[in-house]
Structure 1
Amino acid sequence: MTGLSTTPVSRPTTKRPAVSPQLRVQSRRATRRPRRSVLLTVLTGAVLLYSLVPLVWLLLSATKTQEGLAGSFGLWIDGDFALWDNIRETLTYQDGVFLRWLLNTLLYVVLGAGGATFLAVLGGYALAKFDFPGRRGVFAVVIGAVAVPTTALAVPTFLMFSELGLTDTPWAVIVPSLISPFGLYLMWVFATEAVPKELMEAARIDGAGELRTFFQVALPLLAPGTVTVLLFTTVATWNNYFLPLIMLKDPDWYPLTLGLDAWNKQASTAGGEAVFNLVITGSLLTIVPLIAAFLLLQKYWQSGLAAGSVKE
């Protein structure tokens, strides 16, 4: 009986080309350290200075008195540190009207920006996940609305609200703020990739209706885009100046932008009191909530902006 050979059969091996140690070191360095661009670094530094210098000037100027603003360099502190006195005087000047303007601004943001975000989420989800006649026409209208500046629509909006008798009321600011074409377009693009159709079909098979599918399945997935749109609409409503300027006459309904502008113009009126230190301090207090919102919601709006940028 002939025995089987146990000698292993050698397999042909392919030789890899030899790589010199110098090339290996260069490839490792290339993967570890990104390429540096002097021009890009200089441009980034210039943009950083352009963004931070006004904030530094505002912070330093808020620590000065009315006399210190005129007698000291703008980007340096004054001998008399008056930040806390300026804040106290800003909150109590003219019977605390600054707090009234702050509450008005919060009202416009909660109802206007919050409503605009909710409508943008609903509309973007519907346009992304449902097919209906006229969908392309709606897309063209949305893109066209994004290209139209809001100032071009201010006068027609004023004439329309004047016919309705809504001027000089909060609704003249809230209702136009409910429309955000850019927010609708952003949620449309985000919902297209963020909500899988298979997940929606699974929810419908389980017996969930469209409203339940939206609120319990789609809405949690749309959270990053929702926060991004909310931040954009909040900033736009918080800094809105031209629309309240033509819509409102009663100072009790002024937002912060219009109220601070009224304080700033006091110095040019007959017998008016110059309160530039209060205008600067009020401007500093005005931007604090926006900075806090961006810092607290940074991870959400950054992921919302990056959604859809990489296609798998």
Structure 2
Amino acid sequence: MKQYRCLTNDSSIASAIYVPYYAGLDVGRYLWGDDYSMRDSLSIDMCSCLVSQPEWKRMWGRDHFFVAGRIPWDFHRQSDNLFDWGSKLNTFPEFMNMTMLTIESIFRSNEFAIPYPSNFHPSGKGEVLEWQNKMRNRTRRHLFSFAGKQRPSMKDSIWSQIIRQCLASGTFCKLIECFPKPEGTTCDNPVAVVEPPGDSYTRRSTFDAILARCIPVFFHPSSAYDQYQRHLPKNSSKYSVFIPMDDIRDGKVSINMTLDQVSKDDIWAMREEVIRLIPNIAYANRRSTMESLEDAFSIAVKGVLERVGNIRKITWEGKDPSIA
């Protein structure tokens, strides 16, 4: 944010105001404790600080935005029951007025899903083009791959069925088992994966797969299609394959056969689209410029400015911009 080329020290002329509050680091300290007052205390202090600022009263925080750094389920606690998860941050009116940039949205109008950070931070347009050409020419030995482990405790998970199908496919599928080891898991490196929901709808592996020029396979629309609407194409069939998770759970479809039936022309077109998406979902080195290319950061900030501009327009028209 400090390298953004359109910064101003005069908040009275700013189109939007970034709040450097690290909500994910804050709530992460207390998620597994039962002291709810500790989970919410810094958020409450932040609300008091914000509303006391002259900038706040201009639009009552609707031109402010912040980055959550965790999935929004961690900020939507509805009660103080013993086993309720997370903080109440995004139930406070002040934070509901602000735009929340987060790695996954649960479809509230102030939440804006942005790509998970990956391991690829290009230092310029040339490095992006070099990587795209490298991925375009890379030989692929498997039809599909999966990174994960069995999840018997999660009743709705289809991971076990996917792993069984992968193993039964022989050399057509590459299974990367994510079991903890002293040196880390085999899934710590960017790999190509198919994408069922895990602990939440989304996974970082989606973006690792795109960076590796792998066509992502989704089993739930909320894994990507309902999420990253500014960073990924609206026409999801241009870059991905969708297989309904109920069909997997009920044993109605074979992943191997479904993917094998995709025509070579469609595969080529999707691969080219995936290559085109690489700069959209990568966060560039913060000390560099991407020239004519927009990275994930630029697209996110552009989206915030457009949202604030729309709210400002609604307000000028005398309409109520409040979030339902």
TM-score range, shorter chain: under 0.3
Give the structure with higher Rg (CA): 1
Looking at secondary structure, tell me which structure has more helix per residue: 1
Looking at secondary structure, tell me which structure has more strand per residue: 2
